[in-house]
Amino acid sequence: MEEIIQKKVDQWLNGSFDENTKSIIRELQHTNENELTESFYKELEFGTGGLRGIMGVGTNRVNKYTIGIATQGFANYLIQFFPNQQVRVAIAYDCRNNSRFFAEVTANVMAANGIQVYLFESLRPTPELSFTIRHLKCQGGVVCTASHNPKEYNGYKAYFSDGGQLVPPHDINVMSEVQKISSIEEVKWAGGEDNIHLIGHDMDKAYISMVKGLSVYPDVIEAQKELKIVYTPIHGTGITLVPEVLKQFGFVNVHLVEEQINPDGNFPTVVYPNPEESEAMSLGLKKASSIDADILLGTDPDADRVGVGVKDNYGNWILLNGNQTAVLAFDYMIEARKSKGLSRPNDMVVKTIVTTDMIDVIAAKNDINCYNVLTGFKWIAELIKEKEETENYIIGGEESYGLMIGNQLRDKDAVSAVALLCEMAAYEKQAGKSLFSKLIELYKEYGLFREHLISITKKGRDGQEQIAAMMQRFRLNPPKTLGGVEVVGIYDYEKQEAKDLKSGQLSVIELPQSNVLQFILVDGSKISCRPSGTEPKIKFYFSVQRPLNTIEEFDANFNALGMHIDKIIEELNP
């Protein structure tokens, strides 16, 4: 074992850590040195989603001590950044194993530092935490969750006073404060219990009222209140609010996927509790088909991502991808606001750089500014803060099943997205159409875009090195063609540099540094390479496009674009 790793192990064995932790370390020393190395070779870092990792002992695992140290560092920073103020922090947690325990550890450390803590009495969706920070005028917040990761994971999303996750310089400064803590003795573990206040029902009422206010066509819902909706929380927190929100909107025909309604951190019916995975939505699809539903919706464990199932033109149940859902939602909010006289000259929408460019086209044709930001809703929140004095935010989204409608919170919100998607389905049904037929109409109007995502998992220290080597290969030897089509542009967000390969001209990318590469083809196709900030994965995003002259040509053109993506993947050889 490397000397630096052995030193960390010895610190834990000889320090004031509990005996159970020490006994697990000793057992790993004798039975699984590789796992011990993985557990200690680095410290967990804040990524695009905060602190996230596998639960267990060690500096590279989520446990009482890594949570406590992170919280002490965060508390130190909040107290420094807001001098002469009574710092207030809201804390929530999801259904995962140990989430409540980690939330209580976080609350105790914050409170022991003299911070007023508003702790949810039971599990709640992440978006409600973002709303709560703003509603209670807190300086920060934390939700203990690992979002859609497998059951062995947990995590810690840290939020600032705007209700958004930490962005530079705050994330870097918090990590700096964390790194200053050399011993768990420096963590204030207890002593401020009187500073902890439980919250729950009243906050739910305020949040639900906010979501209900997003409805654009309550009259349509009244006419279509029997819309047949199937919903699954996939064992997560969505069950606490989604059914009630749908009831408040006026929908009376909601069917829950019974096998998945109970919150359970073991996620017994799925491998990955992620609505992006067809396997996680399979029970919902089965129920939707059996009762001939109008729409299926599923949310991940902390209810910030939403998956959507609809019937295609042949009556088959399919899952929309995140880009398709975003296109429908963006178009609906733009068109509905116009129709109701709610639109403003300074309206804006926001998406991420790996989300379909079809949204840019829709926005441009409606004379609305569309901004592109780095992956992660914290960047959408940051842009809203930057523009809120001059522009009016309508909706934001990303391809990974995230939407944020309205400006009263600062994170993706599957609870409000479920409600608005059901309203959209009701609106189309009132017009004698389905969401799928509406999507094809949009393809005809704005161009047919098809996207595909490949995620390659590379776990552990070796995996991290392999991902770095892959990105280095693409930077040093970028492809000249992909799928037989010429590459005409390269966007390197780490260098903050865009290069036109035809002219050789360089231009500056006006976004923060990020380890992302994009290849632009002469036919408008775009291929993005991005290591995940929250998972041991590297992701490849493929986006291709062509005109759609008639609705009848949809199948043939969609299939042709799929074959084009296959050729690009073959030549890219990720």
In the sheet that holds 88-93, the strands lie side by side as: 51-54, 153-160, 140-144, 88-93, 116-120, 196-199
* Mean pLDDT, range 222-245, rounded to an integer: 98
For 443-466, the pLDDT digits (tens) are: 999 999 999 999 998 877 788 888
Q: Architecture of domain 448-572 in CATH?
A: 2-Layer Sandwich (3.30)
Q: For residue 137, what pLDDT is reported?
A: 98
Q: Give bridge partners of residue 526 from the DSSP assignment.
A: 520, 543
- Identical fold, 217-446 and 448-572: no
Q: Architecture of domain 42-199 in CATH?
A: 3-Layer(aba) Sandwich (3.40)
Per-position DSSP letters for 461-525, written without gaps between them: HHHHHHHHHHHHHHHHS--SEETTEEEEEEEETTTTEEEETTT--EEE--S---S-EEEEETTS-
Q: How far is CA 275 from CA 315, 416, 476, 512, in A?
A: 21, 16, 36, 29
Peptide bond into 536 cis (omega under 30): no
Q: Which amino acids are annotated catalytic? A: 147
Q: How far is CA 263 from CA 218, 376, 409, in A?
A: 31, 26, 24
For 356-379, the pLDDT digits (tens) are: 999 999 999 999 999 999 998 999
- pLDDT greater than 80 at residue 269: yes
Least confident of 39-48, 134-143, 223-232: 39-48
**Confidence at 49, pLDDT banded by 50, 70, 90:** low
CATH class of segment(s) 217-446: alpha beta
Least confident of 62-71, 262-271, 313-322, 531-540: 531-540
In the chain, where the domains are located: 42-199, 217-446, 448-572
* Whether 433 contacts 427, CB under 8 Å: no
β-pairing, 140-144 with 229-232?
unpaired
* Mean pLDDT, range 374-388, rounded to an integer: 94
* Whether 66 contacts 59, CB under 8 Å: yes
Q: For residue 46, what pLDDT is reported?
A: 63
Q: Where are the alpha helices (DSSP H) in 412-459?
A: 414-430, 435-446
pTM: 0.94
Q: How far is CA 13 from CA 20, 33, 38, 181, 531, in A?
A: 11, 15, 17, 18, 34
User: How many CB atoms lie under 10 A from the CB of residue 509?
Assistant: 18
For 511-534, the pLDDT digits (tens) are: 999 999 999 999 999 999 999 866
- pLDDT greater than 60 at residue 335: yes
**Confidence at 48, pLDDT banded by 50, 70, 90:** low
- pLDDT greater than 60 at residue 295: yes
* Whether 283 contacts 259, CB under 8 Å: yes
Q: For residue 47, what pLDDT is reported?
A: 57
- pLDDT greater than 90 at residue 429: yes
- pLDDT greater than 80 at residue 559: yes
- pLDDT greater than 70 at residue 420: yes
Which letter does DSSP use for residue 89 in this model? Answer: E
Average pLDDT, the chain: 95
Q: For residue 459, what pLDDT is reported?
A: 78
- pLDDT > 90 in the chain, percent: 91
**Confidence at 539, pLDDT banded by 50, 70, 90:** very high
- pLDDT > 70 in the chain, percent: 99
- Look at the block and give the residue holding tokens 């880009």: 323
Instruction: Name the residue with higher pLDDT: 46 or 374.
Output: 374
Question: Which amino acid would we find at residue 10?
Answer: D
- pLDDT greater than 60 at residue 177: yes
Q: For residue 2, what pLDDT is reported?
A: 86
